[in-house]
Amino acid sequence: MEDIRAKIEVRGIVQGVGYRPFIHKLVRRRGLNGWVKNTSRGVELELEGAPDALRDFAETLRHDHPPLAVVESVELTPLGPAQGEEGFAIIPSTTLSRRNTLISPDVAPCDDCLRELFDPNDRRYGYPFLNCTNCGPRFTIVKDVPYDRPYTTMSAFTMCPDCADEYGDIDNRRYHAQPNCCPDCGPQLRYCDEKGDEVGGEPLDAACACLRDGGIVAIKGLGGFHLACRCDDETVVQRLRERKHREEKPLAIMCRDAEAAKQFCILTEDEERVLTSFHRPIVLLKKKQPYTHLTNNGFLGVMLPYTPLHHLLMQHFDALVMTSANLSDIPICKDNDEALRALRGIADGYLLHNRDIETRCDDSLLWVYAGREYFARRSRGYVPYPVTVEPDPRPILACGAEQKASFCVSEGNYAFPSGHIGDLKNLETLENYTQQIRHFERLFDIHPAMLVCDDHPDYLSTRYARERAKEEHLALLSVQHHHAHMASCMADNRLEDECLGVIWDGTGLGTDGTIWGGEFFAGGYESIRRMGTIRPIPLIGGDKAVGEIWRIAYAMRRDCGLAQEGKPLMERMLARKLNCPVSTGMGRLFDGVCAMLGLRQEVSYEGQGAVLLEAAAVDGEEGTYPIAWSEGRVFDWRGTVRAVAQEQARGVETGVIAARFMNTLVEMAAQQCRWMHEATGFDRVVLSGGVFQNQYLLRRLPPRLMKEGLQVFCHSRVSCNDEGLSLGQLEIAKRGGGTNVFGSTPENH
């Protein structure tokens, strides 16, 4: 066979991940000739060789790639007979536009780097900032694109001759590794005492000593600071909680390795795979002991070291508490000065370094469900990887909700969801939100022509969208909260056709002006029909009832005609409908039952009622309570709640009641879906909304729906809570759903 010339196009995330050197080596090994270059869609090669050899080469590219590359497609096009090209070249790309330069998330140290880190004969032995093309900081140090050292926070350091040699040598693992550095030329650690004064000696040793003595140390990480302390010392954990004003929220731990994690938790194979993946999220695992000082629910958040510094630190401990260094809901600290100021009185010491963090990025938080990531928070290690969506040339910004804020910018077939941002009601968080929007728009060169927001006029994200749309004369679209949840789960699963949706969360503005959250929908991106919901619950005192959940229990008991000590003020408010908005939020039903069962009368964060019920529920309980429906397929929970009260009075164990209550919700949803299926003929169901963070429901509802012959789709690429909602807003806007607030849509220009 004569040699031929062929073009090979590789699409996906193949830039800035060591892809061209990888190609170079592969081509050389196979004795092929030609060139490779970056294009706006990926990389393009022209090669000469035997037809079989070229086909085989293309086949190899389909499954073999550098660790950080994501190959979406490989296409081979024969161009004709060989022209006798000799050798192989990496040629510069001329037409590359900024937006197609995808940026990698931050990546945990690779095995090669770890070997060097612990090899006394290596020049980077014990150096906490080593990295290579296959690992290291990325997103958090990038200031601008292209991804080149001058546009990162590593620009402050000049490579020494040794490092520069590695950087320029195509056979070296550090070829074009932008953050490449060594102890001679790179960032350095330093340690400060509680007053912020630098302490001499080995910084890491000083930090370890402080931790060992029961101190709290602020440690500068990848996307921000952590506060660390021993996890086996309840006194110091308590002190940390008090100082940080985090009395109740669970604290995550960092374990030395998967083996150390097994001392604390039960790990499945899938969980171990995700835990040890280069993304290094916090994985919520079933704990072996109560560890009530760390968390009062059934799961313990565990992560493994994800920087060389962590690896060095964790040589001295099996596990440490590691929690984001911030006060309550304010964004995580990222700069040295900021940390020294904000953490005064909280930290007993500071392990600092002089590599700046450009963009804050919190740890990702997830469960492993059905073998895949199930996000509570999609952030460090995943951001800014795009989510592939249906192609659309219009640049769009979706602004998300408010409490678990997020945004999503999109153009073409990529959507870029932001990382964890938090509650916009804090001024600092709002500022972080607007800064990150601008950062994403610059990095991906997306200039939105259309903005999308929630229907809720008072969400700060909505106000941002309104103001910006007005100022920049952009089209603005508004989307109902739960419609966005449903669309988010559809887009997460690449569903196009209309389907059914079980959308359960705490709150969101409905189209009738009341608060929704226990919703059953049929429809798609363009529009939905509300097929059913739950009996509205009066929130005595409005927002106050979200924290003081005994108010919800009071209103529910009253609605059920259950005896209770009357509260005249409550009665007056209910009778006059004074500050008593009604809600169909499933989260509120959980809150009410939680308070009735005496688990808690007040909660410190939204959704805690559901968390406590889940934690209380015993395993293996199959019982259910009565289910009734009223006009319009509205779940009348009064029969269920009366049964809860009766069993409680009879002295049935709280954990059994909690389980039976949730079993009832599963059964209720199954009945509703069966009915919706009959009414519409749709046999696919998406599950979305913050309530589906409840693992008890998540593990029981899908199999139950499958028994009804339905196909069930859950989230895996974005979160089911409000953080994942911006993706849904975006997809609705692309397909002409939502309500036009003002401005013409881009097509009409």
Q: How far is the CB of 311 from Zn ion (least distance, A)?
A: 12
Q: How far apart are CA 251 and CA 279, in angstroms?
A: 20
Q: Nearer Cβ to Zn ion, position 185 or 634?
A: 185
By a kind-dependent CB cut-off of 5 to 8 A, residue 132 interacts, out of Fe ion, Zn ion, none, with Zn ion
Residues 108-127 contacting Zn ion, CB under 5 A: 110, 113
In the list 46, 454, 519, 722, the residue contacting Fe ion (rule: CB under 5 A) is 722
Of 160, 52, 36, nearest in space to 88 by CA: 36
Q: Got the DSSP string for 86-142?
A: -SEEEPPPSS--GGG---PPPBPPPHHHHHHHT-TTSTTTT-TT--BTTBB--GGGB
By a kind-dependent CB cut-off of 5 to 8 A, residue 672 interacts, out of Zn ion, Fe ion, none, with none
Q: How far is the CB of 162 from Zn ion (least distance, A)?
A: 5
Tally of CB atoms within 10 A around 246: 19
Q: Decide: is 723 part of the binding site for Fe ion (CB under 5 A).
A: no
**Assigned token pair, 672:** 């509703």
Q: How far is the CB of 508 from Fe ion (least distance, A)?
A: 5
Tell me the window of 70-78, 101-109, 420-428, 503-511 that interacts with Fe ion (CB under 5 A). 503-511
Q: How far apart are CA 480 and CA 600, in angstroms?
A: 32
Q: How far is the CB of 23 from Zn ion (least distance, A)?
A: 19
Tally of CB atoms within 10 A around 576: 9
Strand partners, 319: 255
In the list 13, 14, 27, 135, the residue contacting Zn ion (rule: CB under 5 A) is 135
**Assigned token pair, 346:** 């909280």
Tell me the window of 18-26, 374-382, 387-395, 715-723 that interacts with Fe ion (CB under 5 A). 715-723
Q: Got the DSSP string for 660-683?
A: HHHHHHHHHHHHHHHHHHHHH---
Q: How far apart are CA 65 and CA 312, in angstroms?
A: 29
- Residue 265, amino acid: C
Q: Nearer Cβ to Fe ion, position 514 or 745?
A: 514
**Assigned token pair, 115:** 């070997």
In the list 102, 107, 182, 231, the residue contacting Zn ion (rule: CB under 5 A) is 182
Tell me the window of 158-166, 286-294, 457-465, 566-574 that interacts with Zn ion (CB under 5 A). 158-166
Q: Are 350 and 228 in contact (CB under 8 A)?
A: no
In the list 15, 39, 100, 134, the residue contacting Zn ion (rule: CB under 5 A) is 134
Q: Got the DSSP string for 456-489?
A: -TT-HHHHHHHHHHHHHT-EEEEE-HHHHHHHHH
What number of chain residues touch Fe ion (CB under 5 A)?
3
Q: How far is the CB of 157 from Zn ion (least distance, A)?
A: 9
Q: What is the CA radius of gyration of the chain?
A: 27
The residue with its CB nearest to Fe ion is: 505
Buried b (16+ CB within 10 A) or exposed e, 606-643: bbbbbbbbbbbbeeebeebbebeeeeebbbbbbebbbb
Q: How far is the CB of 121 from Zn ion (least distance, A)?
A: 17
Q: Nearer Cβ to Zn ion, position 307 or 719?
A: 307
Q: Decide: is 533 part of the binding site for Zn ion (CB under 5 A).
A: no
φ and ψ at residue 534, rounded to 5 degrees: -120, 160
By a kind-dependent CB cut-off of 5 to 8 A, residue 712 interacts, out of Fe ion, Zn ion, none, with none
Tell me the window of 5-13, 563-571, 719-727, 740-748 that interacts with Fe ion (CB under 5 A). 719-727
Q: Nearer Cβ to Zn ion, position 152 or 533?
A: 152
By a kind-dependent CB cut-off of 5 to 8 A, residue 6 interacts, out of Fe ion, Zn ion, none, with none
In the list 160, 258, 574, 582, the residue contacting Zn ion (rule: CB under 5 A) is 160
Applying CB under 5 A, which residues contact Zn ion? 110, 113, 132, 134-135, 160, 163, 182, 184-185
